[in-house]
C-alpha cells in the first residue's frame, strides 16, 4: 500500500485548493520561506505586466506555516493532474515531496510547489516594489490584490502571523488598490 497523497497549501491553495480534502491539518514546513518571489504572467498578471504570487523559497532557518490536505485515495491521480496543470503552467514552480510536521505532532510527506530560483519568473524584490506591483497587476484570475487579501485573511483566520503580508496589505491599501 502506498502512502496517502498530501498537498501543502501556503498561498492560493489555502483558499482555492480545487478539490475537497479528505482531511487537513495545520502544518509547518522547515527550511522554506513564503514570499512574493514569483512573477505571475498568467493568473495575476500578464507577460507584458507581470503580477506577483507567493512561492516557497528555500532558506536556512526559515519555516512556513500552511495547511496539509490529504486527497481521497480514489481521487489522487485526478487531483495531482489538476494541480500540475494549474501550478506547473510555466516552468516557475518545481514539484517537490517534502516533510512537514502537523500541529498534532504527525510528520507526513506532502507535495509542495516551490520556486525555481534559477527560473525567469523568480524575483527577490523589496516590499515597496512588491506593493506597487500587487496594487496594479491584473491577470486571468483577477486583480493581484485579491490574491494578497485572500491569502492574508486565510492565514490570519488560522492564527498565522505573517509580518510581510500584513505590511503589504496596509501599503497596498495606502496606494489605493
Active-site residue list: 87
| Beta carbons of 94 and 20 less than 8 angstroms apart | no
Classify each residue of 34-49 as buried b or exposed e, where b means 16 or more C-beta atoms within 10 Å of its C-beta: bbbbbbbbbbbbeeee
* CA atoms within 13 Å, Cβ hemisphere of 36: 30
Q: Name 48's Cβ contacts closer than 8 Å, sequence gap at least 6.
A: none
What is the Cα–Cα distance from 108 to 124, expressed in whole angstroms?
A: 30
Amino acid at each position: 500500500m502506498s502512502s496517502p497523497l498530501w498537498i501543502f497549501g501556503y498561498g492560493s491553495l489555502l483558499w482555492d485548493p480545487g478539490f475537497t480534502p479528505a482531511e487537513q491539518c495545520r502544518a509547518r514546513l522547515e527550511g522554506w520561506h513564503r514570499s512574493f518571489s514569483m512573477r505571475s504572467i498568467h493568473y495575476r498578471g500578464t507577460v507584458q505586466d507581470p503580477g506577483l504570487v507567493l512561492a516557497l523559497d528555500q532558506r536556512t532557518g526559515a519555516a512556513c506555516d500552511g495547511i496539509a490536505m490529504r486527497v481521497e485515495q480514489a481521487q489522487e491521480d485526478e487531483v495531482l493532474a489538476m494541480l500540475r496543470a494549474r501550478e506547473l503552467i510555466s516552468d516557475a514552480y518545481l514539484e517537490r515531496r517534502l516533510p512537514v510536521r502537523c500541529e498534532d505532532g504527525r510528520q507526513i510527506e506532502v507535495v509542495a510547489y516551490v520556486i525555481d530560483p534559477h527560473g525567469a519568473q523568480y524575483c527577490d524584490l523589496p516590499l515597496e516594489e512588491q506593493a506597487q506591483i500587487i496594487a496594479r497587476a491584473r491577470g486571468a484570475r483577477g486583480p493581484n490584490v485579491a490574491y494578497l487579501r485572500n491569502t492574508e485573511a486565510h492565514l490570519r483566520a488560522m492564527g498565522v502571523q505573517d509580518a510581510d503580508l500584513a505590511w503589504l496589505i496596509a501599503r497596498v491599501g495606502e496606494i489605493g488598490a
